[in-house]
Structure 1
Amino acid sequence: MRVEKEYRQLEGIEEIRIFNASQKDFYKPAPKEFDVEDLEFQELINNIPVEIHCLIPYEEGKDFIIQSIGNFTLDRYNCTLDDVKGRLFSKLSPLFYEILHDELVDVYNDHVSKDIRFVYYYKNKLSKLSTAKIVFDAGKIFVTTNNIDTKTSNRVDLEYRDFDEDKNDIIENFSQTGSYYRVNGKYVWSQGIYNIINRAKEESDDYFNIVFDLVIPEDKHIVNKIFDITNNDTAQCEEVIRIKTKDGILKIIEVNVYSYFDESGIIVRQGMMNDITQYTNDEITKPVDFLLDGFKDSTKLALLIEPLNVKQYKFSKGFYYLIEKDYEEYVHSRDIFKNIVDKDTVRRLEKLVDGEIDKIDETFCFYVGGNPNKRKVVNLYLERFEYGNTTHSLGFLTDITEERIKQEQLMASNDNRLILIKEIHHRVKNNLQILSSFLNLEKRAYKDNPNLIIEHMQTRLNSLALLHEKTYNSKDFKNINLKDYLIDHDRKMINVVDFPKNIEFETYVDEDLDLSLEVITPLLLIIDEITMNAIKHAFPNKTSANNKITKEIRSVGNDTAELIIKDNGVGIDDSDNISSNLGCEIIKSLTKQLGGHISPIKQEKGTAYKLIFSTQMEHTIE
């Protein structure tokens, strides 16, 4: 057993942490030494939810005589009031006597109440938490306790949170922003806060200020200032603080904390936090940079994170390629609107920035650097939404200049390939929607492992970005040579973060197997899911050699093809059971989209699957 004491300044309470204590440490049967009367209000104490213990000072506080103990405590130690009344505190519970004696004496002498929080751990896991107040009245010491069951979810139902949580989670997964509420002494932390402090959620987080607890000593005075200001009924405070995470990373955090009354008259403390740390190239990278890296090979498609925030925006490479400026020389402002040819589009963009509308989906012409001889055609999708008192935004920018030129040529020749160009543009949007759906599914399935979510997203983004790049640069928008694509796909996959060096790819594809975008998109996502699963689980021995992941795709006639994908790893115990996890559910959904059928193949070593699918699919745009 171990006991730790610490005054938690943020909550203004003395915290006592007790590790691995047993019942005999708290309660020891002792003989009755004093005759004490029953409390006049004992019946009242027995029927209220808060426990009240009454102690009579003995020999000027050297010890205390027990007059009453609350029912919760009596039940916990399997005894009755008669078993404890009239006993000395030091003999009945030596542990609590040692822990509380100084606090009890202070209250007895000064008549000033004290707050204490007891936190109980068993095998380093939070097992019980209770808050106590020590009060002196009528010559006696009263200790009130409120016991909290940490196994039950007691999170506050914040009905006033009228924002779109899915959109907020996307922003927080892409960036280093987070928020929290504090109502009636409990905290509710968003996922972005855990991104900032570099750890997963813990059971006790509802009861502690997990960000301000990490503030370095030099900035403690700033925290005190924040709480001094926002302890008023309604107030707001903006500050910048430095924290040091448990893994030793120093971060600079911009904090906006404010307090207000909700519709029920309950005081609410709310905080918005933004990690504004600037890292060098050899240090840790923010999740926003990690995800933007998924677009690094695309010069036609750009991800726009917080484009309406001129101070904290993040754009992928495609944006700077479009405007033909380096990252360092670009200054983000409304001046870029001057280069948009369509003035109606400019007016709608200004309305979006000013908050008059919530989204735009526009195709327009853009003069690079204001030069009419450098005309580009782009599609822009932008959406803004409110979270608390803060505006967030997210968008995609696609350079369709070459497609528009080809479209005009096709229109001039009355060629039906015009339909295919529209369909490709439609598929780009559909693929982004697919990625968003996968992100939402994995947020629920892997909420305690954000790094796994980010790794999966980067793999899919790399694959789709490569597919779109090849499609845009192709003269035939309907037929993509699968062999050429998969060779590049394998090369890109090897560059994925943490790809083991002892795994090799072997890929065999029919030379003349050409597929449309509708077919190849779900096919490559299926390949990604199975490949990533094999990378993670098939080769646990990181030093082994001759590890291979093999793909074979060939036409089997009647507009049908066959994919066999296998590894020579350790295999799985029950290869027939392929429906028990999220990855398999995603594969089944994509297989259904192909109109195909997937099944495991039994082999002596490793794991293998066979996918039969149609090479033809109806076009979706008429």
Structure 2
Amino acid sequence: MHIERHYRELEKIEEVRAYNISNINLFELVPQFQKPLKIPFCNIIKYVQSDVNMFIPIEDDKDFIVNRLGWNILQRGNIKLEDVEGRKLSECSPFFYEIFKEPFKEVIKTKKTKKMRIYYYVSNKIKTITNIHIIYDEGNIFLISDYNDELSNEKSLEEKKIEDDANKSTLIEYFSQTGSYYKTRNEYTWTPGIYNIINRTRESNDAFYNIIFDLVIPEDKPLVHELLNTMSPETDTYENIIRIKTRDGNIKYLDTYLYSKFDENGDEISHYGLFKDVSLDSHKHMTRPVDFMLNGFNQNTKLSLLIEPLSRRYEFSKGFYEMIEVSSEEYIHSIDIIDNIIEDDVRLNLLKLVKGEIDEFNEILTFKVNGDENNLKVCELFIERFKYGNNEHSIGFLTDITVMREKQQELMESNANKNILIKEVHHRVKNNLQVLNSFLNLERRAYADNPQKILDNMQARLSSLALLHEKTYNTSDFLNINLKDYLKDQDETLQGLFSAKNIHFESEIDENIHLSIEIITPLLLIVDELTMNAIKHAFPNPDMENKTIYKKIDFIDENTCEFILKDNGVGLESPEQLINHNLGWEIVKSLTKQLDGTIEIVDSEVGTEFRIVFPTRFEDPFENVNEEV
């Protein structure tokens, strides 16, 4: 760290320039010197826009006890108040002691307020500018800091980049019909997209009230009341759709997401809100994030993605309306559609899902199109109800398998030649690629800030499926595929993809394991997901030697296999580190379910180890087809 001091006579202010602050710790954990004193006007200080820091002079003003630090400086130091209060400043923060020891002594001696401006540099670029007022009152030193003052007129390249990014963000908000705000200490900061949504310009008092909630129509006021009574340290997120009426009389539907941060006392520190205009008359309707998922299914009239089918906020891809033969403009989302399902037990289970009695529905059903007994379609419907944060959501897939069932029956009755059967399997591979395309769209939303992760994940998945497709296209027996040959080729593919990371891939596969394409497809995708997870997290040190990802698959008995994948990396602090809110883990669980298998995280002295047990055979999908249809 290097510090330079200058006094600006014209402004009557001392400037301090601190360089290389990224190479130091702002605070250190040291023993408490004395109990902190009661802070005057503690509750009032919480609502002051600037940070208020309090110090007590000791040892003939040679050192100072930290009695209070403001929220911003604690955030920058990544430390809690109880870890620094009552400590000597020279011990718990030599960095700040070096900057303020002389200014503190000067203020104690003169009893006059001192102004300072501190420039913090990282890699010779200004990271932060802080304006300081130092006040001596009743034996205590108060340091008031403001992190929000404007910078000098001469803008650095970094400042210009920040300004350019802000302009890009404004443009994106305009085209996507979104806007957000940030509230701290009862003051709001609104992005330009908000004013585009409410169709007015910025006004001077917008910082002091919620300009969105003020426009909510009377019928939706209870939703706002629910929000205000819901946000707490236990429930820190909220999502719903509210309606507002703009000053020019337009009604708009806003998809609302709110998030709050709280301190250790349960007091709200900050509040973030994101609003998305989802009004039906919005000409930007197709730019919504959900459309990235829906578009992955729009070209397939036999396969439909169902977003929130159990909610009034439903979104369905085009294939759904093709299947029920009702246009999206005419369709009214209602539970009455269940009445067109022929099977009584299927209707009963679907109603249980709607009522929340079960969390998952996966059935094959016969659907009467528009109630017509002569127009029947056989469909496979999967819907899952799940919680994310504190909110319930649902997602599903509806597939028209009428033609596939008819083809199956024809194949069994006429003993069609093997080439037709191979084409049917390739059709399934095509469907797998379409599902991967939808995974891509899901990951674009989940990992929007890490596009390289999305590319790496999808490149590995697509390489494995391309290998599978190539081999099955040329094979004469797709029900007994040698697993060792596949994983050997997959290792070579992964080695090529990640050669720059110096990771060695080892496999030990029983050469007698032969599996059908129905099993190998999800198994290869599981290998991809777990391998990508290891590559991303197991070896944070790029200089680590002997980095290895090891796979082993062998028989437990003649009908069951065991798959082990482990690495020699840093390991997991706890299984929850991987399991909680991890899209990749959810994909692995889903693929394991396709295998009719079970997965567990195994305790390991070195690295991370996964164990999956799965059956070697499924029931032949083309057997007993006459009984099923």
TM category, shorter:
0.3 to 0.5
TM-score (norm 2): 0.43
